[in-house]
Structure 1
Amino acid sequence: MAEMGSKGVTAGKIASNVQKKLTRAQEKVLQKLGKADETKDEQFEQCVQNFNKQLTEGTRLQKDLRTYLASVKAMHEASKKLNECLQEVYEPDWPGRDEANKIAENNDLLWLDYHQKLVDQALLTMDTYLGQFPDIKSRIAKRGRKLVDYDSARHHYESLQTAKKKDEAKIAKPVSLLEKAAPQWCQGKLQAHLVAQTNLLRNQAEEELIKAQKVFEEMNVDLQEELPSLWNSRVGFYVNTFQSIAGLEENFHKEMSKLNQNLNDVLVSLEKQHGSNTFTVKAQPSDNAPAKGNKSPSPPPDGSPAATPEIRVNHEPEPPSSATAGASLPKSPSQLRKGPPVPPPPKHTPSKEVKQEQILSLFDDTFVPEISVTTPSQSSLPAVVVETFSATVNGTVEGGSGAGRLDLPPGFMFKVQAQHDYVATDTDELQLKAGDVVLVIPFQNPEEQDEGWLMGVKESDWNQHKELEKCRGVFPENFTERVQ
């Protein structure tokens, strides 16, 4: 019997819920058709919009924070693998092995600590913050259903009130055959029964209206207080979250910087004790233009020992050899990078050798020796001392400075011709084609001149514009050959 009773209660509850859903659906249809008015609350609707926006922003922040944590974990694993590799290649008899191992352990602990603090102080806080949204979202939806119930009860009660007079008119005179056939004393009882039944329906409708209104208003008042408060709390939450992340990241990088410095000191000590075994790397043919980092052009290899310079790993300058000092060429980091094809080897420029005619002209009284400005490449060749001489003929300087000639730029020193194409990699460089003639001029500030680079203006640009500021630029000397 108890089981049958419980089944009956469950069936009755299901039927009640189904009836409520049908009533709500009917009410919404009438409201959309304009046959029933709908209770509106613009202030609450704005609160709901803010709530949905806040939920979207919080969900995105939580997703991005999880991605950040995944990246930190991946970096930790990569750093750990790198340190393990160092420990494997570090020979037991090398100094600083124990220190390097200790640094690797501290590095691993630092990454673990950083990741855990991000979880505790950022991710868990974010999860707690978003944990309150599902309940509020459910209550907002329930409030909407209760509002429909309230409107439906209100409309039902209003319809009964409107039909009150019609019902009273029907009760005043019997209309049915039963009422007409009944005796006079029986007609009075029927009328009284109809009045009582109408009043009962009206009272039930009023009770349902009061109940629906009470349930709705209780939920509405609570949400009207919570939603604005939740909306305003987002500012403090965002501030605290990002402050925590920034502070943790700052401390992490400070501690990591100390470990990196300690590791660097260990490796420097190792390098000093094994300095005689410095590892050298022969420069590979460069596929790129001369490096612009320190204006050190990459010379094209010519197959000779001097054309394959060695780059020392420990960055210590290699002492020049007496046999190859005069033939060494500028070195460039670009030799280790790939890029456009390297031009074929240029010919030796006449400026690097003393011409026979110039030597013989020393015995002529009309020649006045004058030491010209040596180019960077000449200053880098300790085994060759190069001097150029100019002659004063009829008061005009020939073969020397062109400052006094109107058809040459101020400070003109000599001409060079491009032997290979050169693609400029910066705005202050000249774009050269094989065969271009360049008028070489001195740097305005000698300290700005880098080894292996010259300042000049293409002869065609100078003849056309005569504007030195717009046309001049730097170019690699080893891409050209001196012609004057």
Structure 2
Amino acid sequence: MQKRLSRAQEKVLQKLGKADETRDTAFEEGVANFNKQMAEGTKLQKDLRAYLAAVKTMHDASKRLQDCLADMYEPEWFGKEEVDTIAEETDILWSDYHDKLVDNSMIAMDTYLAQFPDIKARIAKRDRKMTDYDSARHHFGSLQKGKKQDQAKIAKAEEELGRAQKVFEEINVDLQDELPQLWNSRVGFYVNTFQSMAGYQQRFHKDMGKLNQDLNDVMTKLDEQRLLVPHPPHPSSPSSSILSSPSSSILHLLVHLPVHISATITTGNTTPVKAMHDYAATDGDELEMKAGDVVLVLAWENPDEQDDGWLMGVKESHWLENKDLLAKGVFPENFTQKL
């Protein structure tokens, strides 16, 4: 209780300018760095925990989505076993990624921050011991300057001053060594933390990318299987309907074309087809189609240029309007059906 009272009196005298205060600029800078480092570390710990929570949320969402796909994927569809395997491996990949972050990055973060409370308490203790030292120093000085000097009191005050100085210097020396070391350690800690996280993320996204590619391949083959399913035969039309159909009219017109236009199109090598799906052209020589478009199939000028599954043609609507082949292009055969 007496020490607290003496410290309070000393602080008041120092604030009033009636007593000098022991100052150490280098140490004060070290304390400022310590507080900055602790604040940054605390924020990093908070953000890392938020990141881990987000990873856990994404894991749960991914698992629900994969389970949904696996549940609705019918047994007879192509790649049923592959889809189930991909779902399991995706779940394992998320779990492994989360566990590595917790076991390494998060634990290292907690260990790093665990050293700050003790040092913070010792800094506060140093401040108290420094006040005790200043108080003892001022008391001893006042006794020495007094008109009536009591040698016994002076000796006792000198002894208390020596004791206070020793306690202060012991804790001060330790902190003088530790604070700069702790400040410099932050760089290595940040490097290790983010380097390990980057490695985990790189491996995770690489493996996840492979699983996504596998799933994409299965979906592509399933779609191809769907397109290859035979459609019911088109109902036959009366002869009169055939003769009056737009396609028959086109064939009739083609016979009467000038030689330089109709040379590559004759009734013998032209087959009307109907687009069953929309097709968006991805190159300049491709023919863009909408479901329902009628396309006149043309013979390739150079058969060697023809790719398997691709046809050359011109839209019937373009032919009726322009009577030329300027808009001809290639298109996938499995997007159409013969008329």
Measured in 1, the distance between the counterparts of 2:8 and 2:55 equals 51
Contact 1:69 1:118 in 2 (8 A): yes
Match of 2:273 in 1: none
1:86 aligns with 2:69: yes
Out of 193, 206, 212, the position equivalent to 2:158 is 206
Which position in structure 2 is the counterpart of 1:130? 113
> How far did 1:273 drift?
2.1
TM-score (ref. length: structure 1): 0.50
1:20 aligns with 2:3: yes
Unaligned segments of structure 1, at least 5 residues: 1-17, 169-197, 279-308, 327-377, 389-484
Contact 1:325 1:383 in 2 (8 A): no
Aligned residue number for residue 114 of structure 1: 97
Deviation string, structure 1 residues 163-209 (Cα, Å, up to 9, x no partner): 1xx226xxxxxxxxxxxxxxxxxxxxxxxxxxxxx222111111100
Q: Is the 8 A contact 1:325 1:382 kept in 2?
A: no
TM superposition shift of 1:83: 0.5
Q: Percent identity?
A: 58
Question: Structure 2 CA distance, aligned partners of 1:276 and 1:71?
Answer: 42
User: TM-score, normalized by length of structure 2?
Assistant: 0.70
Query: Given that residues 295 and 315 in structure 2 are in contact (C-alpha distance below 8 angstroms), is that contact kept between their aligned partners in structure 1?
Result: no
Aligned residue number for residue 445 of structure 1: none
- 2:20 corresponding residue in structure 1: 37
Alignment partners' CA distance in 1, 2:85 and 2:168? 66
* Alpha-carbon distance change, 275 to 318 in structure 1, aligned in 2, over 3 angstroms: farther
Residue equivalent to 1:435 = none
Query: How far apart are the structure 2 equivalents of 1:84 and 1:50?
Result: 50
C-alpha spacing 1:325/1:383, structure 2 compared with 1 (3 Å): farther
Letter paired with 1:64: D
**How far is 1:120 from its partner?**
1.5
Amino acid corresponding to residue 271 of structure 1 in structure 2:
D
1:131–1:319 Cα change, 3 Å: closer
Post-superposition shift, 1:142? 0.2
Aligned to 1:239: 191
Residue of structure 2 in register with 1:55 after alignment? 38
Structure 1 counterpart of 2:211: 259
Counterpart mapping for 1:133-212 below 5 A:
133-163=116-146, 166-167=147-148, 198-212=150-164
Kept in 1, the 8 Å contact 2:278–2:290? The answer is: no
* CA distance in 1: counterparts of 2:48 and 2:69, whole angstroms: 32
Q: Using a 3 Å threshold, how does the CA distance of structure 1 residues 319 and 379 change in structure 2: closer, same or farther?
A: closer
Aligned residue in 1 for 2:239 = none
Alignment CA distance shift 1:387-1:104 (3 Å): closer
Q: What residue in structure 1 maps to residue 246 of structure 2? A: none
Question: 1:91/1:35 Cα in 2 relative to 1: closer, same or farther (>3 Å)?
Answer: same
Give the residue type in structure 2 aligned to 1:228.
Answer: P
| In structure 1, distance between residues paired with 2:82 and 2:7 | 76
Mapped to 1, the partners of 2:59 and 2:100 lie a distance apart of: 14
Separation in 2 of the partners of 1:54 and 1:321?
68
Give, in angstroms, the shift of residue 36 of structure 1.
Answer: 0.7
Corresponding position: 1:384 with 2:336: no
Contact map agreement 1:80 1:108 (CA 8 A) in 2: yes
Which amino acid in structure 2 is aligned with residue 266 of structure 1? V
Contact 1:146/1:216, CA 8 A, preserved across alignment = yes
2: distance between equivalents of 1:219 and 1:130? 21
CA distance in 2, matches of 1:320, 1:122: 54
The alpha-carbon deviation at position 381 of structure 1 amounts to: 3.7
The one-letter amino acid paired with 2:203 is: N
Is contact 1:28–1:148 with CA below 8 Å preserved after alignment?
yes
Q: Is the alpha carbon distance of 1:254 and 1:83 closer, same or farther for their aligned partners in structure 2, counting shifts above 3 Å? A: same
Match of 2:148, as an amino acid? D
Using the TM superposition, give the Cα deviation of residue 321 of structure 1 relative to its aligned residue in structure 2, in angstroms: 6.2
Matches of 1:380 and 1:220, distance apart in 2: 94
- Pairing 1:75–2:53 present: no
Change (3 A) 1:129 1:239: same
Q: Which amino acid aligns with 2:173?
A: V
Distance 1:222 1:251, change over 3 A: same
CA-based RMSD of the aligned residues comes to: 2.7
Within 1, Cα distance between the matches of 2:195 and 2:171? 36
CA change 1:129–1:380 in 2 (3 A) is: farther
Which of the residues 84, 88, 108 maps onto 1:101? 84
* Partner of residue 46, structure 1: 29
Equivalent position to 1:271, from 223, 248, 252: 223
Deviation at 1:80, TM superposition (A): 0.4
Runs of 4+ deviating beyond 4 Å: 315-322
Q: How far 1:383 moved relative to its partner?
A: 3.2
- Output the CA distance in 2 between the equivalents of 1:319 and 1:27: 90
Q: Which secondary structure state, in structure 2, belongs to the residue aligned with residue 274 of structure 1?
A: helix
Structure number with the bigger relative contact order (C-alpha 8 A, sep ≥ 6) is 2
Deviation (angstroms), 1:154:
0.5
Question: Residues 363-420 of structure 1, C-alpha deviation per residue, up to 9 Å, x if partnerless?
Answer: xxxxxxxxxxxxxxx98844325269xxxxxxxxxxxxxxxxxxxxxxxxxxxxxxxx
Assess, with a 3 A threshold, how the Cα gap between structure 1 residues 270 and 321 changes in structure 2: closer, same or farther. closer
Q: CA deviation at 1:35?
A: 0.7
Cα deviations by residue, 1:109-136 (Å, 9 ceiling, x for unpaired):
0000000101122111111000000000
The code of the aligned residue for 1:21 comes to R
Unmatched runs of 5 consecutive residues or more in structure 2: 231-275, 297-313, 325-339
| Greater C-alpha radius of gyration | 1
Change (3 A) 1:132 1:380: farther
